[in-house]
Every structure is written in structure tokens, then in C-alpha cells.
Amino acid sequence: MEEIEIIVKALFLGVGAAISPGPILALMVSETLKYGKKEGFAVALSPLITDILIFLISYLLLYRGIFYTDNIPKFFYVAGGVLLVYIEYKNLRYRYRTMEYSNTKRGFFIPPLRV
């Protein structure tokens, strides 16, 4: 009985997430209107296909214990920290270059992040 309750909750959460407006929904509507139902359906299935791979890897590594050690979460912490430092470095470098050029122009604009 508990399994059915979990499945029903997951279905409601999935449907709620699927119908919420966002970039995938906009792309799906755009492709459907341009090219027809078949292409719109293919766009709708693309997140499902890509998420299955991520789910399986996460499930196998974290819950089944395949190749699981105590160092895996630590690796993700360090990798995430390195990624954030790299993104901030690129952002500051880009912002510094645009500030040099904006001194001759009127006003000041901070451009979006470019990685």
C-alpha cells in the first residue's frame, strides 16, 4: 500500500512539473506549431530521455552502493566548488574588460555571465 502512495505522489509531482510554464514548454509549443505534433512530442520526450540516464547513474552510485565510497560526495563538493570558482573567475575577468571599455561610453552596464 505504501508503494502505491509513493507512486501517486510521484505522478502528481511529475504532472505538476510537466505543465508548469518554462523554456521546455515554450519550445514544445513552438515546435508543435511550426512542424506538427510529431516534432512537439519529440521535444516533450527529450527531458525524459536525458533524465533517465541521470536517474540511473544516481540510483546505482548512491542507493545501490555500486562503486560507492565515502569519497564520492566529497568529490562532488570539491568539483562543484572548483566549477563555481572558475565561473566567478571568468565573470570577473569579463566584467573587468567591459569596465575598461565602458569608461569612454556614457553610463555603465554589467553584461550577463559568459562562460
Q: What is the pLDDT of residues 90-110, one digit of tens each?
A: 888 876 666 555 555 555 556
Q: What is the pTM of this model?
A: 0.42
| 27 contacts: CB under 8 Å, gap ≥ 6 | 43
Q: What is the mean pLDDT of residues 69-96?
A: 83
Radius of gyration of the chain (CA): 22
